[in-house]
Amino acid sequence: MTRVLEVNSVKKHFGGVKAVDGVSFHVDEGEILGLIGPNGCGKSTLFNCILGQLTPTEGTVTLDGKPITGLYPAQLNRLGVSRTFQLLQVFPNLSVRENLILAGQEHKGTMLQRLFGPRDAGLTVDADRMIAFFKLEHLADQKAGGLSYGQQKLLDAAMAFMAGPRLVLLDEPAGGVNLTMLENLKERLQAINRELGATFVVIEHNMDFVMSLCSRVVVMAEGKVLAEGTPAAVRANPAVIEAYLGH
Amino acid sequence: MSRKLNTDLLIILIAVPILWFAPSGLKSYGLYVVSLWLVMSIAAMGLNLTLGYAGLTSLAQGAFLGIGAYATAILTAKAGWPLPAAFLVSTGLSFLVGVVLGFPALRVKHHYLAFVTLAFSVVVFLVARNEQWLTGGVYGLANIPRPVLFGTDLGGGLAFYRTVLVVTLALTLVMWWLLHSPWGRAFQALRENPLRAASLGVDIRAYTLLAFAIGSAFGGAAGSLYAPLVEFIDPAPFALSASFVLLLTVVAGGAGSFFGPFVGAFFSYMLPELLRATGGWYLIIYAAVVLVLVMVSPTGLLGLIDRWRDHQSQRRAAAIRAAARPTLASADKPTLENQGAAP
C-alpha cells in the first residue's frame, strides 16, 4: 500500500507551551484516518503544521515521499492537499456554483491562461457534477451566505474535493450539523472515498461519526499520540477511555 | 449569474448612445463637467477593484491620478509625444508603481494599509511640488495639448468629451471582462476570506499585487485624460484630499458594485456643480446626503438595489422551501433521495 502522508516526530512549541510534542503517524492511499483527542490536545495545531499554516518547530512531513514541510498553503493545495476548516469557511457573496469554480480554478493552467481562457475556467460541468453529488442542485445559483449551516458545511466539504485532491484534511466536518445532514455528509464522504480513491484525515469529536467513518484512528493527548488502531481497538483502550472517551 | 452579466452589458449598451448625443447642446463648461465625471469614474473604477472587489484599503488613488497626469503632461507638452502613446506609457507606469505599492499590502491590512498608502500619497504630492525641473513645482505645467488623431482635431469641447467617452467605454469593458474572469473571482475570494482562498490554491501574493497594480493603472489612465482635459496641472488636485474624495466616491456609489463608481463620481464631481445654485449650502447638503446614505445603506447607493434583489431571491427560495415541506413530512423517514428531489 502506498504511503500518502507521513508525519515524522513533528513538534510545535509556542514559547514554553508544547502544543504538539513529537507526533508521528502515516496515512495510506484510500484510507480514512480519524484524529481524535480532547480539546486543546494539539489536533488543529498539527493540522496547521501539515498544511503550511504554521511551520513545525521540529520534524518533517512528506507527501508521497517528498518533503512538504514549510511550503505555503497555496503551494500545498496545488500539490493536491486540500482542507476544510473547523469554523465554516465558504465565500458568502459568491453563489454555490461560483464557490466551487473558485475551489478548482487555480489548478487550471497558468494565471495568464486563466485570464484569457474561459470565464468559468472550464469548470461549470465539474461544479455542477459536484453540486449534484452533494445534492445541492436547487441552491446552485444562491449566494452561499444564504444557505443553512448544514448546507454550507456540505458546500465547504464539496469545495475541498473540486480539484480532485490526493489528500483531504477535514477539521470537524460534523460540528453543528444536524443528524439527517450528518448521515448525508458521511455517506457522501464514503462515496467519494470509494469512487475517487481520495484519502482523508478527519478531526472529529462526534465519536459515532468517527467510528463509523474511519478505518483507523489516531488518538492524541497533550501533544502526543496516545493510541492508534482500529476504531474498536481504540475504543477498548483503557488509556483512551481515561484521557478522552470517559467511562 | 448569466442573467446578471447581461444586465451590466445592457446598461452599457443603452447608456453609451445617450451619453454620446445628450451633451451635444452643452456649452464648454457643461462639457468640462461631464468629461470630468467620466474621467473620475475611471479612477474610481480602479479603486473599486482594489477596495471593493479585492478588499484592500487604499488612500493613494489621487496620487495615481497625479502620476498619470504628470507623465502625460511631461510627455505631450514637453517631449511632444502624441496623446495615445503618452496614455499607454502613463497607464503602464502607474501599473508598475502600483505593483511596488502593493508590497506593503502583503504585510499589513485595513487601517495600517491605509496609512502606508496615505504616506505614499504625501510623497507623490511633495515630489510634484518640489521637483520643479520635472513637474514645474507650484507653477505647474501649462499648455497640455489635446489630441489630434489621424488628422482629426479632437480638441474641441464636444470632440474631446466623446474621445473621453470612447476611452471610458473601452476601460469599462476591460474591467467587466476582468471581473468576470477567474481573476475577478479570485479577487473577491481575497476580500472575503484570504485564509480559505490560500487553502484553495489562490496565490494571495500575486493577486494582491495585481489588484493594486490594475487599480492603479486605471488611476493613471484617468490622470492621462485629466491632463489634456484641464490643459494645465499643478500639484493641488492630486493632494491627499483627492484620494479621500475618490475613496468616498467608491463607498458612496457602492464598493464592489460594478456601476458604483459612475454613481459615486456623479455624486462627488457633478452634484457640486448642480448644487452651485444653492450657494454656500452646497457642503451642508452634501454632508447631509452622505450621512443619510451611510446610515440607510452602508453598502452605497447601488447597494440598495443589491439588497432589494437579495431580498427578492430569498423570498423565492423561501417559497420553494415551503412548497417542498409537505413532501418531506409525508415520508415516514426523510431519506436523501426525497430531500434531493423535493425542489
pLDDT over threshold 60, residue A77: yes
What domains appear along chain A, each with residue ranges and CATH number? 3-245 (3.40.50.300)
Q: What is the arithmetic mean of pLDDT over A140-165?
A: 90
**Which residues 6+ apart lie within 8 Å of B114 measured at CB?**
B57, B58, B59
**A217 sits in which H/E element:** strand A216-221
> In DSSP terms, which residues pair with A202 in a beta bridge?
A34, A170
pLDDT per residue as tens digits for the range B137-164: 889 898 898 888 777 788 788 999 999 9
Q: What is the arithmetic mean of pLDDT over A4-28?
A: 92
Mean pLDDT of chain B: 87
pLDDT over threshold 80, residue B332: no
What is chain A's alpha carbon radius of gyration, rounded to the nearest angstrom?
Answer: 18
User: Which one of A90, A106, A146 has the shortest CB-CB distance to B314?
Assistant: A146
Domain B2-299: which CATH number of 1.10.3470, 1.10.10, 1.10.860, 3.30.70: 1.10.3470
Task: Judge: B185–A102 Cβ closer than 8 Å, yes or no.
Answer: yes
pLDDT per residue as tens digits for the range B90-142: 999 999 999 999 998 888 888 889 999 999 999 999 999 999 899 988 898 98
Using the Cβ of B1 and the Cβ atoms of chain A, whether some distance falls under 8 Å is answered with yes
Using the Cβ of A115 and the Cβ atoms of chain B, whether some distance falls under 8 Å is answered with yes
pLDDT per residue as tens digits for the range B173-202: 999 999 999 999 999 999 999 989 999 999
**Residue pairs spanning A and B at CB distance below 8 A:** 110
This model of the complex carries an ipTM of: 0.88
Instruction: Name chain B contacts of A115, Cβ cutoff 8 Å.
Output: 178, 181-183
Task: Judge: A138–B313 Cβ closer than 8 Å, yes or no.
Answer: no
**B14 sits in which H/E element:** helix B2-21
CA distance B211 to B179: 11
What is the reported pTM? Answer: 0.86
CB A90 within 8 A of CB A159: yes
CA distance A24 to B34: 68
The angle formed by the CA atoms of residues A175, A177 and A179, to the nearest 5 degrees, is: 125
**B153 sits in which H/E element:** strand B152-153
Distance from CA of A107 to the nearest CA of B (A): 7
pLDDT for position B342: 39
Task: Judge: A121–B314 Cβ closer than 8 Å, yes or no.
Answer: no
Instruction: Name chain B contacts of A183, Cβ cutoff 8 Å.
Output: 336
CA distance A51 to A71: 8
> In DSSP terms, which residues pair with B149 in a beta bridge?
B152
- In this structure, of A196-200, A235-239, B67-71, B338-342, the range with the lowest mean pLDDT score is B338-342
| A117 vs B89, more confident | B89
**Which residues 6+ apart lie within 8 Å of B22 measured at CB?**
none
Distance from CA of A18 to the nearest CA of B (A): 24
Q: How far is CA B333 from CA B72, B179, B326, B327, B328, in A?
A: 72, 45, 13, 11, 8
Using the Cβ of B181 and the Cβ atoms of chain A, whether some distance falls under 8 Å is answered with yes
Q: Which amino acid is at A214?
A: C
Distance from CA of A129 to the nearest CA of B (A): 14
Using the Cβ of B200 and the Cβ atoms of chain A, whether some distance falls under 8 Å is answered with yes
pLDDT for position B333: 45
